[in-house]
Every structure is written in C-alpha cells, then in structure tokens.
Amino acid sequence: MKRVYLCLFFLLVLSNVFSQRKGILDHSASPHVSFKSTPIGACKWTTGFWADKFKICEETMVPYMGSLLCGDTGHALNNFKIAAGLKEGEHQGMRWHDGDFYKWIEAAMYIYAQNNNQKLLKEIDNYIEIIGKAQQADGYLQTQAKLRDDITRYSNRRNHEMYNSGHLFTSACIHHRITGQKNFLNIAIKQADLLYEVFYPENKAYARFGFNQTQIMGLVELYRTTQEKKYLQLAEKFINRRGTFPVEHNHTTQGYPIGDMVQERTPIRESEEAVGHAVLALYYYAGAADVFAETGEKALLDALERLWSNVTEQKMYVTGAVGQAHYGVAASRDKIQEGFIDAYMMPNMTAYNETCANVCNAMFSYRMLGINGEAKYADVMELVLYNSALSGISLEGKDYFYANPLRMIHNARDFSAKRDVTESTERQPYLNCFCCPPNLVRTIAKVSEWAYSTTNNGIAVNLYGGNKLDTKLTDGSHLKITQETNYPWEGTINITIDQCKSTPFDFKIRIPQWAEGTTLLVNGKETNIEIIPGTYTTLNQSWKAGDLISINMPMDIQLVEGHPRIEEVRNQVAVKRGPVVYCVETPDLPEGTEITNVYVKAEDHPKAVYQPDLLGGITTINTNLLLRTDQKEGMYRTVKQPIFKSYPSQLIPYYAWSNRGKAEMTVFIPVVW
C-alpha cells in the first residue's frame, strides 16, 4: 500500500511539472524562479487593446511578414531552398537572416497556439522540412556558409552563426511545446550537439566567438526542453569566457568592432555598467538570467541586478527605449554602434533606440521578474510594450521602423545615405536589415504569455487587458479567471474567478509605479491592505467561483521631466497618462508649423478624450499648445519676451505617430511654467 501511495505521489508531482512545461520559458523545474511562466495559450485576449493588436498580428502581421520572407523580397526561405538543393540561386540578405526566419516561425507558432489553424501548422512544417534538408550531416546549419564562397564555418564571429543558432533553438523549443512534434526540435538538437563539440573544449581561437548571445538563451531553453545538461553547461561557458581574454583582433574578429562594443572587456560578474551595442548586451544579460534561474549563482544575479538598474535608471528613455546612439564611444574609448553611451546622455532627435533593443529590454525584464518577482520589472515590460515596441510597426501591421527617435524634424538630417534605411522619417515596408520586424511581431504574438505568472501559492497579474486565463497553479489545482477592462485608456480592471481550489491562495496584483491612489475591492468591499505603487499587492484568502477583484487606477495626466543631468530635456516635459507616453505630431498643428516652435503651458488643464475612429482607437490628450511666433534667424538669437499664440490641439500616443503621412514629432516639449 505504501508503494502505491508513493507511486501516486510521484505521478501527481510529474503531472504538476508537466502542467507548467509549456511556458514560453519552461520554468517548471527551474529552482531559482519565483514567478513562473503560464502555459502557452493558457491566456487568450478577448476584448480591448491587446485583443485588437493580436487580431492584427494574426490576420496581417504574421501573414504579411511570411509573404516577404518566403518570397523574393525577403528571400529567407529561398536561401534554405537553395542550400537544400531544391532551388537554383544565390544567398541574399544579411548574415543573420536565417535567425530572422526562425523568429518569424516562432511568431507563427504563437498564433497557432491561439487559433489552432491546421493550415498554418502544415505550412510551417513544410518549411521545417526544407530547413532540415539544408542542414549538413554533422548538424551545421547556416545557409550563408553553404552558399557563399567568402564565408566558411566558424571562421569569423561577425557572420552571426551563434545568433542564428540561438533563434533556431528557441523557435524549435516553442514549436515542440505547442505541437508536441519533434521535427524542428531534432534539427535544433543536432545543431546544438555540434556547438557543444566545437565550443565547449578550451580553444583560444573560439574563446571570444559568441558575441551576439542569443545562443545562451536558446541553449538554456533546449536544456529545459530535453534535460540534456551539456546545453546548460555550454551556455554557462559562453558567459564565463566573456571578458576573460585579451581584447585584440584575431582571425575570428577581423572586420567587426571589438572591446566594449561587444561586452568583452569586463567579465559580467564584475560589470557595473551596460556598454556597447544595446541588442548584444541585452541578449547577453537575458541569457545570463536564464542561466542563473538554473544555477542560482549569487555573483551572477548581483551583476544582473546592477546592470538592470544601470540600464533602466541611467540609460533608458521615457518610452522604455534603449541604445542612445547610432555611433559613439565607450568609457574605454572603444567605438560602439547602436548602443549605450554615457549615463544621462539622452539625445532626442538622434536617439537610435533600435526596435530590437527595446524588445530585448522587455525580454531581460521578464526574466528578472521571474527571478525576483518584483513589480519594477513588469513596469518596464509594460512601458516598452505600449511605447517603444509598438512604435516600431505601423497600425495596419505592414511597415517598420528600425530606429525610434523621440523627435523627428524634417531636413535636419540626410537619411538618404543611411544603410538599409535603418534611420528614416517614415516606416518602411521592408528593411534589408530585417532583424527588428520579426522580433517585434513575435513579441506582440506572445504578450498574453507575459500577462500572468504562477507563484508559490497562487497567481500574479503582471499585465492588464481583456482576457481569459485557464491554467493550473503549482500544486496542480485548476484556475480559471476572466479579466475585463478598457486598459490602457481606462484604469478600471475587473477580475472574476470562474474556477479555483477551495483552500486559500494568493492573487498578486501589480500596482504600477505611476498609479498613485489605486484602490482594490474584493466583492465590492475594501481590503484594508496597504497599496503601494511599484509593488505587487497580495490578496490571500479562500476564493470561490464568482468572486470579483476590482482594481481602479487613477488615469491622471502627468508631466514628466528628466533627471537634471539629461541636458537636452532641461525645461522640457513629456506627457504621460497611465503607461502611455504621448507626443505632438504636426498633423495636429497649423500647416507649416515647425515642431521646434511648439510649447506646452504647465498650468493648462488637459483633457483625456477617447476617439474610436482615430488611429485605430486611441485616447488623445486635448490641450491648448503654445506656438511661438517671434523666432528669428541664426544659430544664436537675442531675445526679450517670447511671443506665443495659443492653439487648441491634441497629443497622440507615441506609438501611433507616423501613421498619417510624413510628419514631424516630438515627445519632449518645452514648458512654460
């Protein structure tokens, strides 16, 4: 009898583990994670902001992007076909283009997890078959090396083989979790085994090779999926090697910047400051967070907390964007591109803020949320999602920004000569450097997976939006809830419990840092629990079907000023309401008005107005702007008393700018107190 009970106990444990194995991060057995991912598809958007975005993603973003990548414009699938011997032709696209295709497959799988469209699954499996035929016998899989005479395998890190492999691993794990199939996973395993064979042994030639670190996240996820420990060991080795070898050019680094540009001057455990290319850095930090989730090494976590604070408190824009400059210099005097420069050095018009970097900022924060369970990480995720992420794609879902500045002035810069139109006055239907669009689209497709986390004894509400959640808690008990809200345009959220266990458990409700004065009611009654903005409020009790949690966040219009050391925005303010940052755009000004002549009056009384027929349905901030009429010519001008003309206008959400034709725009506005 005792043996029977033991068997039943272990079956229950295995059942509980399996119920958590299908998250976007498989935290089911991760010992150092406090907020664990819910299964993919457990949360489905129903109405409101994110339901609308997901519908556009399902009906337009993913299919349109597929038509690009699987056609002659994007040429990504063609590369695989040619490498597989199924088509004649030459390789086209950047060295990291294989990875772009894997990201798109990942996005498509999130869509499939929600709609169960068998036609979509069949299409993806057909592409996976082609990818498999392009893979070499020993597991090597890079179309560029197979098709281009000037590239040989693992000869130079600038060929982005690690980057492509990392996205392959992640995409294959997601495909397996959603479908249960192993056709894509087996391709990834074969490639990972080769990576381990080549890169795990001590080999000085390869010691600095993995500079664009998506392979770390991918290897950890492959370890979680297969329980093959060597993948975790290899991921950790990539971290341990970084910053421990002399920074000098060798045959594997020729032709690409070195040093702080690629985070290789300082070991991560000694790092105090985020440096270099923002995407490379944040992929690296996110991968290190995944490794910590499995190893629990305190020195690694201490470094990650320092770096996260440095990014978000000294180098992040009000929109959640990161990567202040296209070109710059690190403190070490290393040249950097598309990345972090000095603290508080935050240009507006020349802000690079690559869409990938912004998305990576949210990815890193999501992992830190899982580890520490603190609301500040979800605050950054939300800030990015509503602002610097969505600004990277047009409202209809077909045009893209690579860079996301906070001010756009026509004729101030010559964009015509910029490589790949990465900087542009208008979104583009295709970017030759196509890393950002699929990164953003896969994020929009999986936002529902960030909305909730399971905790030790309950559920955490991370993001708000109309949805239904059907999941299991860590003890195996079933939980179904319904969230109803018109967030972010309104601050009222109602969460109804549809099914739950009878014993007490936690509801952790995130109160954003901006949400002063938030109230919480349970079944219409006050909770008498202190509500602190920037934290999770924990409600613990016995719940039952029909119980209602009501959250009311005041949606005050706030003027936000920068730190005094951000010289460019002194005496200027940004306008924010809830999680949404606003901007002034010239279509809302008199014809011919230059954006640099627009001011805002601090004591004015702006009004929030929801306009369902404007820009996909938005809340505008209606106010009287001040237009300066006495500007003189010349770089420097004498001035007495400025002359202003009041003009009734509106501010729109930053993410929605550049959807009404060519326009000037600014987030920060000079203020008249």
What are the tens digits of pLDDT across the range 487-504?
999 999 999 999 999 999
* Cα 211 to Cα 217: distance, rounded to the nearest angstrom: 13
Question: Kind of pairing, strands 492-499 and 644-653?
Answer: unpaired
Residue 415 above 60 pLDDT?
no
Residue 154 above 50 pLDDT?
yes
423 alpha-carbon distance from chain centroid: 20
- C-beta of residue 272 within 8 angstroms of C-beta of residue 353: no
Residue 289 pLDDT level (bands cut at 50, 70, 90): very high
pLDDT cut 70: percent of the chain above it: 95
Residue 11 above 70 pLDDT?
no
* Cα 289 to Cα 218: distance, rounded to the nearest angstrom: 12
- 448: number of CA atoms within 13 Å, CB side? 31
* Cα 653 to Cα 619: distance, rounded to the nearest angstrom: 8
* Cα 374 to Cα 380: distance, rounded to the nearest angstrom: 11
DSSP conformation letters of 220-242: HHHHHHH--HHHHHHHHHHHHHT
Choose the weakest-confidence range: 151-155, 173-177, 532-536: 151-155
Residue 439 above 50 pLDDT?
yes
* Residue 417: predicted pLDDT: 54
* Cα 509 to Cα 522: distance, rounded to the nearest angstrom: 12
- C-beta of residue 582 within 8 angstroms of C-beta of residue 653: yes
**518-559 pLDDT tens trace:** 999 999 999 989 999 999 999 999 999 999 999 999 999 999
Which domains are present in the chain? 75-256 (1.50.10.20), 452-552 (2.60.420), 558-672 (no CATH)
- C-beta of residue 651 within 8 angstroms of C-beta of residue 582: yes
List the beta strands (DSSP E) in 391-534: 407-408, 452-455, 458-461, 467-472, 478-485, 492-499, 505-511, 519-522, 525-526
* Cα 130 to Cα 101: distance, rounded to the nearest angstrom: 12
Question: Kind of pairing, strands 535-541 and 478-485?
Answer: unpaired
Residue 204 pLDDT level (bands cut at 50, 70, 90): confident
Residue 404 above 90 pLDDT?
yes
Calculate mean pLDDT across residues 166-171.
98
DSSP label at residue 61: I
Q: Count Cβ atoms within 10 A of the Cβ of residue 295 and give its class: 0-12 exposed, 13-18 middle, 19 or more buried.
A: middle
